[in-house]
């Protein structure tokens, strides 16, 4: 939200170029939820999206003429979110940015980089993105950052995002960040590539095992990875809940807890979460979740060591 409000002004259009954004951005944009809460829509910013191609990838033909003079920001969501689609690699992001800037050089490009950090050897600002944003309790927190998110990119735009977080003129000069929190954030950043590597191995194992058992998976086994998310289509509510229950039971923390599907702020559907983690919400430790709607897919991520998923899958297959 800070990044989008930094880039957009009344009269601008926000263009999502990879289909619908993740559920939690819908109320920020103003395409779901009540009016007059300070969404982009309330500030006179319009919204449009480019649907995905039939194969679940970007629609390059549509993208080639999608940008308009009033398009102030193009939003690229790197990870699949809760959509059954391919996550975007750096090469696809580079090609998308080139297409956008060719049509309107003044259009800023913001990448929702969540779950993609450190999976490849380049990050979106290195191929032309103006701003990126993500979570510090996902990949870049290395499983030990206790809280927070990040915005990175061009200096003036990062400053504009910081002004939205606090107030114009203050930016990041004020606020509470105790020393022990900063230590954990920097140590987490140092550990992050190692933890992301283990999560990628875990995703490869999930894809291999579940596809061998006849389940649709995204990405496919042994396919190149662009984020740490591995989706498995389970087909019905009961299997989705059972899968999440087993993951919770196998977690190092809170294994006695039974996850219950329910309404969660920011989400359009009932969602079930399994995340018995030392840091609350740190999905890079070991977690899975999914919305209770067709095709009843579970989205798996994390694992401080790939063998955690080996243990989970052994138990999952007994249940489903």
Band of the pLDDT at 191, cuts 50, 70, 90? very high
Whether residues 97 and 157 share a domain: the answer is yes
pLDDT of 121 reads: 95
How far is residue 54 from each of residues 91, 219, 224, 237, measured CA to CA in Å? 20, 16, 20, 26
Give me the CATH number covering residue 274: 3.90.1150.60
Residue 177 counted as domain residue: no
Confirm whether 178 is domain-assigned: no
Looking at the structure, do residues 240 and 148 belong to the same domain, yes or no? Answer: no
Task: Tell me the pLDDT tens digit for each residue of 5-64.
Answer: 999 999 999 999 999 998 889 999 999 887 789 999 999 999 999 999 998 899 999 999
pLDDT value of residue 226: 96
Asked if residue 170 is part of any domain, the answer here is: no
Q: Using a pLDDT cut of 70, give the percent of the chain over it.
A: 100
Residue scoring higher pLDDT (280 or 256):
256
Nearest of 267, 221, 259 to residue 243 by alpha carbon: 259
Report the pLDDT value the prediction gives residue 88, as an integer from 0 to 100: 96
Q: Are residues 137 and 4 in the same domain?
A: yes
Confidence of residue 2 (pLDDT cuts 50, 70, 90): very high
Beta bridge partners of 16: 49, 75
Asked whether residue 256 is domain-assigned, the answer is: yes
Average pLDDT over residues 283-304: 95
The secondary element (H helix, E strand) that includes residue 199 is helix 179-212
The band of 270, judged by pLDDT with boundaries at 50, 70 and 90, is very high
Nearest partner of 257 among 239, 271, 244, 267, judged by Cα: 244
More confident residue, 317 or 81: 317
Label residue 319 by pLDDT band (50, 70, 90): very high
Q: Are 14 and 73 in contact (CB under 8 A)?
A: yes
Tell me the percentage of the chain whose pLDDT exceeds 90.
Answer: 85
Where residue 309 falls among pLDDT bands split at 50, 70, 90?
very high
Report the pLDDT averaged over residues 310-318: 96
Same domain, 76 and 200: no
pLDDT band at 224 (very low <50, low <70, confident <90, very high): very high
**Co-location of 9 and 147 in the same domain:** yes
Q: Are residues 131 and 5 in the same domain?
A: yes
Task: Tell me the average pLDDT across 304-319.
Answer: 96
**Are residues 264 and 117 both part of a single domain?**
no
pLDDT band at 177 (very low <50, low <70, confident <90, very high): confident
Whether a cis peptide bond, with omega within 30° of 0, leads into 3 is no
Q: Are residues 74 and 144 in the same domain?
A: yes
288 and 199 within one domain: yes
Query: According to the model, what pLDDT value does residue 81 have?
Result: 86
pLDDT above 80: residue 175: no
Assign residue 66 the CATH number of its domain: 3.40.640.10
Amino acid 306: pLDDT:
96
Question: Mean pLDDT across the chain, nearest whole number?
Answer: 94
The reported pLDDT for the residue numbered 115 is 96
Residue 171 falls inside a structural domain: no
Residue 176 lies in a domain: no
Picking from 165, 192, 212, the residue at the C-terminal end of a domain is 165
CA distance 302 to 72: 34
Per the structure, the count of domains in the chain is 2
Residue 161 shares a structural domain with residue 229:
no
Q: Please check whether residue 116 lies inside any domain of the structure.
A: yes
Q: What is the pLDDT of residue 172?
A: 86
Domain enclosing residue 81, as ranges: 1-165
As a residue count, the chain comes to 320
- Residue 174 inside a domain? The answer is no
Residue 312: how many other CB atoms lie within 10 Å: 26
pLDDT tens digits for range 113-133: 999 999 999 999 999 999 999
Same domain, residue pair 291 and 152? no
Q: Domain check: are 205 and 302 in the same one?
A: yes
């Amino acid at each position: 939200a800070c990044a989008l409000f930094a880039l957009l002004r009344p009269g601008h259009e926000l263009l999502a170029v990879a289909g619908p954004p993740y559920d939690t951005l819908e109320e920020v944009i103003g395409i779901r939820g009540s009016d007059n809460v300070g969404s982009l829509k309330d500030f006179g910013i319009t919204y449009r999206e480019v649907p995905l191609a039939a194969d679940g990838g970007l629609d390059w033909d549509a993208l080639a003429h999608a940008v308009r003079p009033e398009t102030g920001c193009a939003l690229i969501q790197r990870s699949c979110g809760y959509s059954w689609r391919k996550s975007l690699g750096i090469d696809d992001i580079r090609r998308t940015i080139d297409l956008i800037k060719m049509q309107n050089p003044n259009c800023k490009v913001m990448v929702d980089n969540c779950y993609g950090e450190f999976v490849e050897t380049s990050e979106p600002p290195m191929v032309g993105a103006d701003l990126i944003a993500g979570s510090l309790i996902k990949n870049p927190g290395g499983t030990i950052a206790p809280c927070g998110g990040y915005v990175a990119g061009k200096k003036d735009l990062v400053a504009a995002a910081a002004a939205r977080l606090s107030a114009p003129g203050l930016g990041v000069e004020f606020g509470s960040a105790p020393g022990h929190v900063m230590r954990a954030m920097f140590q987490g950043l140092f550990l992050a590539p190692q933890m992301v590597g283990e999560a990628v191995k875990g995703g490869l194992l999930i894809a291999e095992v579940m596809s061998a058992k006849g389940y649709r998976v995204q990405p496919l086994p042994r396919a190149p990875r662009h984020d740490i998310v591995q989706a498995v289509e389970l087909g019905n509510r009961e299997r989705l809940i059972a899968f999440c229950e087993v993951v919770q039971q196998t977690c190092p923390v809170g294994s006695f807890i039974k996850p219950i599907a329910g309404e969660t702020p920011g989400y359009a559907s009932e969602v079930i979460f399994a995340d018995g983690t030392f840091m609350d919400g740190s999905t890079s430790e070991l977690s899975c979740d999914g919305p209770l709607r067709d095709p009843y897919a579970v989205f798996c991520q994390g694992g401080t060591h790939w063998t955690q998923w080996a243990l989970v899958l052994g138990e999952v297959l007994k249940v489903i």
